[in-house]
Every structure is written in C-alpha cells, then in structure tokens.
Amino acid sequence: MMNTLMNALVAAAVAMTGPGGGLSADLQRIVDAKGATAALARVSDGGRTWTGTAGVRDLDRGGRPAPNGHFRIGSVTKTFVATVLLQLVDEGEVGLDDPIERHLPGLVPGGAEISVRELLNHTSRLYDYMSEPGYSTNRWRGAERFRSYQPRELLKVAFAKKLPDDGKWHYSNTNYVVLGLLIEKLTGRPYGEEVSRRILRPLGLRHTLVPGDRPGLPAPHAKGYEPLPDLVDATRMNPSLDWAAGEMISTTADLDRFMGALLGGKLISAESLRAMRTTVETGAGFGYGLGLQAYALPCGTVWGHSGELIGYLTFAFRADSGRSLTLSINPSTRNPSTAEVMGLAVEVFCPKG
C-alpha cells in the first residue's frame, strides 16, 4: 500500500501559518521529486515566524504532517552536548586544552595527547565506531535496531581500529561518546540529566528529550522510512547506539529557541561562544567549531548543525542577524541533495530584491 500512496505525495498540500514565501513551493518540489515523504520547516526573523509542512504523516494512513511534530535530531545532539561542556569550562571544572587523560584516565588510547577541544571539533583522530558494519543508525539494522548499547561498549569498537595518518579532518561520533562520559565524570550525573537541567528546563524546551532506550517518538510525529528497496517503516528504534553523539528528539520550535539562546550568548560566556565559533577546515562543505557548523552562503555565513538518523534528517541554521531556518526532512526513496537543502537556506537567508 505504501507504493500506491506514494503517488499521493505529489498532491499533498503544503500547510503554512504566518508570512509565507517561495519556501513552501521548494518543500513541495522535494517531496514531488521523491526526496522526502514529509518535511517540516520553521523560519524566524525577529518577531515573525513562518511554519510549513509538505508530504504526508503516514504513507499507509495519510494525513498532513503537524508543524509542531517531533523528530529525531541525530547529530544536532552534539550541539547540546558541546554547550554543556562549555558551561563546565565556564565554571572552571575543565579546560578546553586539558588532555582527556586528566579527567578520564585510562579510557582513551593516547588520551594524554588528545585535548577536550580536539574531541569537540573532531580533530582527535579517534576512529568512528559507526564506520563498522552494523553500528550505524543511518542504516537499516533489522531486529538489531531495538538492541540496547552501553557507551563503553561503543568505545571498545572504536578503539579496536585507528584512522589512517592522512592529514585530513575526520568526523567521528566516538568523540561525543567520550564527551558524554566526561560530562558524567565532572558532574556525577547522567549526561542527559545535565542537558535537561542546564538547557531544556531553563529554556522551556518541553518537546525536546533524551530518550535513552525508549524506541518511540512522542505524538505528533511523521513516520520515518528506509528504502529496501520498497519503503519500510523505520520510525521505532532504540537510539542508544547514538547516545551523546545523536540520540535526542525535538521539534522545529524547540531547536529554533535553543539555537537562538546559544548563539545569542544566553547559555555560555562570550569567550566560550567565540571558541565555539572558531572553526577548522573540513573539506566537507562547512567549517566545524566546537559542536557547531559554519555554512558559507552567497550572502554570508550561517551557523548551526545538521543531523541524520535513519528516517530523519535535521538542519538547524541561524544567521548573526537572528534569522533562522529549522528543517526536518523524512527521506523517501532518496535523500534530498545538498543542492536542494542549501537551496532552501539560500531562499531564506539570501532573498532576491
């Protein structure tokens, strides 16, 4: 039934509230071109907010996606983790240039030569455990997707291999598993509890959570799918394989508020925010700071992070002007291209005329 209902995506309505624009048509084009089964977008600019949706909530039952729907944010989790770490830097509990061996002795091979800063900006050269077969939440894992993992179990997989000495920047989820353990060592509390205590509750992010072993998403949400080659429902899964590297769930409104507070200097000191925005060259189309990505658009730089977890893609962008774009895309038979996603960003941040 999913294949027949895919045809309904072409005619799916785009829902908008507030001042609209070309973004609504762009979202629909991605759906029509089989780049998404559902898409949510939120644009904020001062006191004005626009929200839009395209596609369907459920390929079997239909229904329009809710603008306030929940979704898996994947690696945008890293920005939350980095924010907590920088708060701990501000409190004098840890230094960015401290070797990780000082705080987690014996945990990381070569830890005396790896700094907290290098973990945060992915220059530690630690092998990414998600590169191993069966250890990526961006791939279908069958019944294994409901298995529960422990952080040190993931590090055991990571530390069994080393990266080649090629002089390149290497994104590694292993870094943020180590950083999650560092938060727990410094605070004596689970990292997710610190994220809630320091960020979610103070900002009133009531629709953002650290799910742990829970496989479902709160209502409302659009289902996520994976082509095998027919689309199968990949919504439910145990996200502990991502842990502090990418397990969180949120909404476009909550992510918009978080990024606004962070980049507006309300969560960390000015010095820490400067460090967070100091990027290294990646060769991947963006600069990478401390849990923060910098994207160069024709009209300037936007800051934020992207995330992927099977069935869900997330993009949270914000310009220094305060204008923001937050996207959740549920891929269809293909992922939307970089050109399609960045085209949305250009539509928002670089309007013509």
Annotated active-site positions, please? 75
CB proximity list for 232: less than 8 A, separation 6 or greater? 140, 225, 226
| Closest by CA position to 244, among listed 308, 200, 191 | 191
Tokens 């952080």 belong to residue: 151
Angle at 243 between CA 136 and CA 108, to 5 degrees: 90
Of 301, 269, 276, nearest to 291 (Cα)? 276
295 backbone dihedrals φ, ψ, rounded to 5°: -110, 130
Q: What DSSP line would sit under 178-234, residue for residue? A: HHHHHHHHHHSS-HHHHHIIIIIHHHT-TT-B--TT----PSSBPPPEEESSSEEE-
Alpha-carbon Rg for the chain, nearest whole angstrom, is 20
74 backbone dihedrals φ, ψ, rounded to 5°? 55, -130
The contacts of residue 89 (CB under 8 Å, 6+ apart) are 95, 96, 116, 272
**Backbone conformation region of residue 352, classed left if phi is above 0, alpha if psi is from -120 to 50, else beta:** beta
Measured in whole angstroms, the distance separating CA 336 from the mean position of its chain's CA atoms is 16
